[in-house]
Structure 1
Amino acid sequence: LQGGDVVACAETGTGKTLAFALPILQRLMVEQPPFGDPAREAYTRALILAPTRELVVQIEDAFVGLTYHSPVSTVPVFGGMPMDPQERGLKAGADIVVATPGRLMDHMRHGSTDFVRLGCLVLDEADRMMDMGFWPDVQKIVSALPPERQTLLFSATMPGEILKLARDVLRMPTYLQVGANRGAARTIKHSLEQLARVDKLDWLAHFVKRNATGPVLVFVRTKIGADRVARQLQAKHIRAAALHADRTQQERLQAVEGFRSGKHPVLVATDIAARGLDIEGIAHVVNFEVPDTPEAYVHRVGRTGRSGAEGHAITLVAPDELRNWQALEKRVGLQLQ
């Protein structure tokens, strides 16, 4: 609110989106000349960068909800959709641009953007942008922005590489930490099921039919695995959808909306969905395999237990995965229940 740079590390589900959206909107609403004054120029005042299309859509949805009865304009910019409508919004000087780095770079190469007077840059899920190899694009985008701006960096985890890169793009930032670094939200109950790999699908189907108290988000390691598990659940008369990067943008949106509306009580996803997927009321997250890293575990299970609600994270552990699970359990500091 005071206009300084911020590095914020917070547990997933603690409201990071509102933490940057509300101050940005506050600044826009008090800016002079006010909205409606012919002297007020149309240009982009805030840019939010996020790693995935799903997260861009959700952040922009949050802004649209907050600005419904105001003249503030927003434009979402991400791949898999036509360039032209995005280009029109950028050239019209939308107040707020929410974008993935790759698609924004495409528009910048076409000369569609004008960030000369940008006042605020937000880097959301910065650790994920680094994991996905977007950081070179982020650095190119940042180098094209005016140096006299506010920069806010948000991340669920804060590895050393992020802190080093933060020093490159932020000026004397304030460091904020909510909860434990690497930690999952305290509202999540963690448990494991030890069973043979061949028994995992039957266990999952039984759990969904008999024990689940609400929507179930299942994480698998590969895109082929996501399709296979969703298909096998469907064969057992369980409505399930798959979400991964090889799906078209329309298929991905349909999968997310079907899960959100209850049409599919089960969503089977790769890690791309773990970042930023904010669907109210996910009761259970099931790790079909042991996640590769503590960060992946924290992001996956952070889709449940959000905004103070209780959640349940279950990891299915085959005998050959037990050693990896024990190492992860120790590094994340899990208390199994």
Structure 2
Amino acid sequence: MGIRGLIVMAAAAALPLGLQAGPAVAADLKGKAPVAAAEPQLCKETTEVNPDIFGFSSGTDVATPGSLALGIEYGGGFGVRSGRAMSTDGKVQLSYGLVPCVEIGPAVVFGNSYEETNDGVARTESDALGASIEAKFKLLGRAQTGFGMTFVVEPGWARVKERTRFANGIANETSNHDETSLAMKLLFDTVLVPDRVFFALNFVHEAAWIDVTPQEEESAFITSAALTLQASENFFVGVEGSYRQAYAGAWFDHAQGDGWYIGPTFFWALSENVALSGALAVQVSGNEKSSEDYIAMGDLNLVDFSQYDAKLKLGISF
């Protein structure tokens, strides 16, 4: 699958664990802790903001101690320079408020992708199944500093099966390999207009180690910003932009290319405990790089990234 599939799987989305948009509580999806627990003053919030209102970006709020939520996420990317290609990925995550200001979230991840040449001679498909565990540490709260800050680390592993089919009589090929991933994120958010306008800024580093011979390493660094408007008591709409950089190594070793994205987001609180959110990101500009020199191949980078990325998530709090 490569880093394009892992970015969607290990991405960055926190579970819908809370929203208090004003006096009304119909949009409050905060998981109910069995016993109220006092949180450290530095990260305690007086007004909760659901982290899923920002699309691919995430807010800084974490689950209260003892609260539990389930997130079911599905998305993918499509659009390449030549031929046909598409990837779809899913994530089922259970999130738990472990201690004040700390949330833990084990998850099962899966994905499928295919690439086909223009002439239809070769088609490569891959399936992946694995697991990850996300740990979120809220460091600063909006109530005290005016902005929230949360650090996230998420290691993961997946087993990938690849199949290459040829239409010209050449024997088909099948191979299996493991992929280990590590995502690290620094999240910021703030309320620009109380109960009305919200802003989030994320910095994400995604690395993958692909167990083939010789071993491959890939990574991406993503900077994203999202602006969200509360259109009604239970519905939010917004816009999100991101700048993505691809590298051949796991730690910014060799720059491969970049891409700029923009697209709409939405969040809909279906009930007190159920919410649906989604986002679409469209690449509007990008550069591709070969082994040494950049090659002018239009205005988009469709080698390292997809032209379109989409995400849909269902969140349930208990």
State the TM-score, normalizing by the size of structure 1: 0.25
Q: Which of the two has greater helix per residue?
A: 1
Q: Which has the higher contact order (CA 8 A, sep 6+)?
A: 1
State the TM-score, normalizing by the size of structure 2: 0.26
Q: Which of the two has greater strand per residue?
A: 2
